[in-house]
Structures are given as C-alpha cells and as structure tokens.
Amino acid sequence: MPAPSTKPPTRQPLSARAGKKSPVWNFPFVRENFLYFGAGLAVVILGFLLLAVSVWTSWDNPLSVSVAPVVLLVGYCVIIPVGIMKYFKDRKGTE
C-alpha cells in the first residue's frame, strides 16, 4: 500500500477549470445617481425642518401640518427611488 500524500491538492477556480474568463463586475451607480440621492436626502432634511417649525410657532402652522408631509413624501417616494433605479447609458468603460 503506498504512503498517503501529505501535500494537499491544488484547487483552481471554477472559471479556470471551465476555460472561461471570470465576469467583470462594474459598480452600478455613477455620479448622477449620487446627485439624485443627495438631492433626495436634502429634500427629506428640509421636510423634517419644516415639520419642526411647529416647535417654535403654533402647533397648527400650515408648514408643519400640510407642506412638510408632502415634501417628505416627495423626497422618500420619488427622488430617492429615482436616484437608486435610474440607469444612465453614458457610462465610461462599458460597451
């Protein structure tokens, strides 16, 4: 009976074994996506500041009762999702 080998077998990546190149992953967001996301974040902060106006004025201030929720809704439900989902075709380095 031959002596067992003490050297562990070498392992190759699956792509090298199949003879294929490994896929290149590009980060999906570009500068415009971050600008949309930053604008949405600024709108959300503005909405919370408008909501806090009632602390310094009367509690039934129209800014904090009607305008601030609409601004928050636009920030959370429109601008931030657009920043996440919008695809810009003029990406550099892609075909």
pLDDT tens digits for 37-70? 999 999 999 999 999 888 778 777 888 889 999 9
The 8 Å CB, 24+ separation contacts for 6-14 are none
What pLDDT is recorded for position 59?
A: 76
pTM: 0.67
User: What is the rounded average pLDDT for all residues in the chain?
Assistant: 82
**Which tops the pLDDT comparison, 87 or 11?**
87
Residue with tokens 């909405």: 47
Could you tell me if 64 and 50 are in contact, meaning their C-beta atoms sit under 8 angstroms apart? Answer: yes
